[in-house]
Structure formats: structure tokens, C-alpha cells
A = this chain, B = another copy of it.
Amino acid sequence: MASLNDPTLRSWIDIPPTSDFPIQNLPFGVFVTEDGGPHLGVAIGGYILDLYALSQYGFLEDLDLNGQQPKVFRRRSLNPFIALGPPAWRAVRQRVSELLRHDNPTLRDHESAMHTCLVRQSTAKMLRPVKPRNYTLFSGEQAPTASANPLPTDWHQMPRGHHGRAGSVVVSGTAIYRPNGSCPSATATEAAFGPTQQLDFEQGVAFVNGQATQPGSTISVAEAEDSIFGVVLLTTWSARDIAQGEAGSFLGQRFGSSISPWVVTLDALEPFRAAGPSQLPEPLSYLRQSGLHHFDVQLQAAIKPATAATEEETVVSAVNFRQAYWSMAQQLAYQTSNGTPVQVGDLTASSPLNGPTPEALGSLLALSQGGTRAIPLNDGSTRTYLEDGDTVTLRGYGEKDGLRIGFGEVIGTVGR
């Protein structure tokens, strides 16, 4: 697949160098338009290449998709496509790359096909790309000030995971409501029940599982990357006051997670392989790993108050996916080490991500030092936690040798 990542590849579609979606990326998503859908598509510059239309025109008909085309491209989620397995993912991505190359006239010069298959992103509505059965979260390195639930001392030998609420995962653009809850007080009297006063976000990344296992079987660290379809940006919304009375993460943290509509394949991220944090003390033996299994992906989160102009958003947090302590492969191996089955479309998140510097903190809880320090915004206001009408935007991309592979955005506006 290396050739698909060649930085010198060009498309006949005009793509600005700042786009997240050059011909080397080709992430998968699901969209609807006024004309119908949902269809599966691939992002290319400011367009979506409609895989269903492409299939209808016969451009994919020689690919071995287990007899599932075109219907696999006319579904509400990527799950059935992912279930076809890595050869199918790669065959489709390879074909899309070929059809979009600047020197390939097949689609470019087929006027009706070109107009039907290329959909402007501005005219489409993106759906949640996958339907997860299981949603698992692994903490990143803990921020010094965010220790309501401190990690156990042997956390560097063995990660700690939590189960999320798969049905609460929504796609970017979904309004984020302000949850109600009670914050238990130190006394026996009843805490007030009402809207959270400490609404926060956590910056994260999640991988999409690509292969199902049977109960009792495991996936080793060495095998794990072959089971991963791709990666999305993810933010978990959090009500810090509601969470305070909870030992685990229930009402205060699992009411909503927003993910990006585009799933960037591991193949597309190949150029950004990097070393993760030095793992000392050594992990348990079945979790040990050598080589480059983290990915150098810059992540940032910005806040824009309702009254601020768009250009007045403030980047409040910048972290890097390579700062996740445990690699995706280690997370998958750990998760399946007891034989629990995984299913296609499962999400496994690294969230929140925190880095080694004071700015590299992935939540307002950490950035505001537990709500004690106000964070200045460009419009002159300050924040410790989110206010109604605030829009949070997460972005993420890898950049190297002039090649930029991005994830698009995850946007959430706080309602109520």
C-alpha cells in the first residue's frame, strides 16, 4: 500500500495544500444528501466520492467484495463494509486512488459518472460512520490536577480500561446538551439536582475494530494492528460535579461522546508511525512491544463562545496522539486477553490524552487546574468550564514531508 501514500501523488481534483483530505488519505464515511442515501463515501479535498454511485457505474465491479456490492455501499454505517475484511478495504482504497490520480482519465473524463460520483461536502450531511457494539476507554497519562479517580500504582505495567455506553456515541455536529445530576455532598443532606455547572470535554482518539473474535479467543499485540480498520477523533463530554460522587464513570461521563465522521485508515497513517512514551516500568510480558506503534498526530481543541465571531475561536488545548501511553495494539491485546469477544465497529478510545507539558492537557479540568484557574479566550471572556452556546471544535492531522493527513473536525455546541 506504500504507493498510495507517496507524497508526490496528485489528483485531477483541485485540492488545497491545507486540506485534510489529499489523495493519500481517502478516509471512509457515510453521508446523505437531498437526493438520498445513506451511501458510503470517501473524502477527497472538498468532495465526497460516492462509493455507491461508483459501484453502480461499474467502476468497482471486478473487486472481490463477497457479492455484497452495490448494497454494502448503501448502508447506514460502515460496519458491513468493514466486515468484508482488510483485502476488501484495501482493494477499494486502491481503486479509489487510481481513479482519482491526475493522469487517469477514466472517471475524470466520464462526464455523467464524474458529476454523479463527486458530491460537494457542503451539500452532504455526514452520519455517525460506525455503529459500535462495544465502546471501551483507556485513560492516557493522568494530568497532575485531575485526580478525582487516580490511576493505580501498577498502571504502567497493565492499562486500566472502562466500558462506555455505545449508544451514546454521536457524530460531529450533534448538539451537546447540559446534563442534569446530583452531586453528593459530604453531609447526609440531599444535594441539589440540576444542570451540571462543570461541563467539560476530553480530547481523545478512538480506533475502529475491523475483525470480530469468538468468545474465548484473544488477539496478541503482534496481531492487533491487522485487526484495526482505522481511527477517528473523539471527545468524551464530562460533567465533573456529577462525576464526583461516582467511583467509576457513569452519569458524569457517559452521556455523550462525539466522533469525527471520517475514519482514517491505519494504511493512510503509515507515514506517521512514531515511538510512544518510554514504557518503564516494563509492561506485563504479554503486552510488551517493540518498534513504532504510536502515531504522530497533532490534536487541538478550540472554544468559540456563542457571541464570538468564527475567527475568534481560541485553541485551548494541543496534544499529540503519540502521547497516549498505551498503543492501540496494546489496548486491543489487553482488552481481549481474557477472551471477551470484540465485534466489527467497536470503538476503543484513548481519552483523555495528556502530554508532558502544561499546555498539553486534554481537558478543561486539567487546563484549569481543577477549576481554579480561568482560561482566557480571544474574545476577552474566560472559561473554567463550558458555557451554554460554546462551540468546541477538535481537529487532528499528521504532517510530514509536505504531506498532511487529517481527520476533519469534531464539533459540538453546548445546548440547553
Contacts and interface: CB of A to CB of B under 8 A. Distances in A.
B184 A158 contact: yes
Contacts of A256: 215, 340
A280 interface: no
B180 A285 contact: no
B179 A338 contact: yes
A67 interface: no
A337 B180 contact: yes
A166 B136 CA distance: 11
Contact of A339 (B133, B179, B190, B346): B179
A115 B177 CA distance: 54
A170 B214 CA distance: 11
Contacts of A87: none
A248 B138 CA distance: 13
Interface of A: 133-134, 136, 149, 152, 154, 157-158, 160-168, 170, 174, 177, 179-182, 184, 188, 190-191, 193, 215-216, 218, 239, 242, 245-252, 254-256, 281, 284-286, 334-335, 337-343, 346, 415
A134 B284 CA distance: 31
A133 B181 contact: no
A168 B215 contact: yes
A110 to B, nearest CB: 38
A384 to B, nearest CB: 20
A233 to B, nearest CB: 19
A218 B163 contact: no
9 contacts: A133-B166, A134-B165, A134-B167, A152-B245, A154-B184, A160-B248, A177-B216, A179-B340, A255-B339
B181 A337 contact: yes
A338 B239 CA distance: 10
A149 B286 contact: no
Contacts of A245: 152, 154, 158
Contacts of A134: 165-168
Contacts of A166: 133-134, 166
A191 B340 CA distance: 20
A338 B251 contact: yes
Contact of A182 (B190, B242, B284, B339): B284
Contacts of A188: 154, 281
A338 B246 contact: no
A198 to B, nearest CB: 13
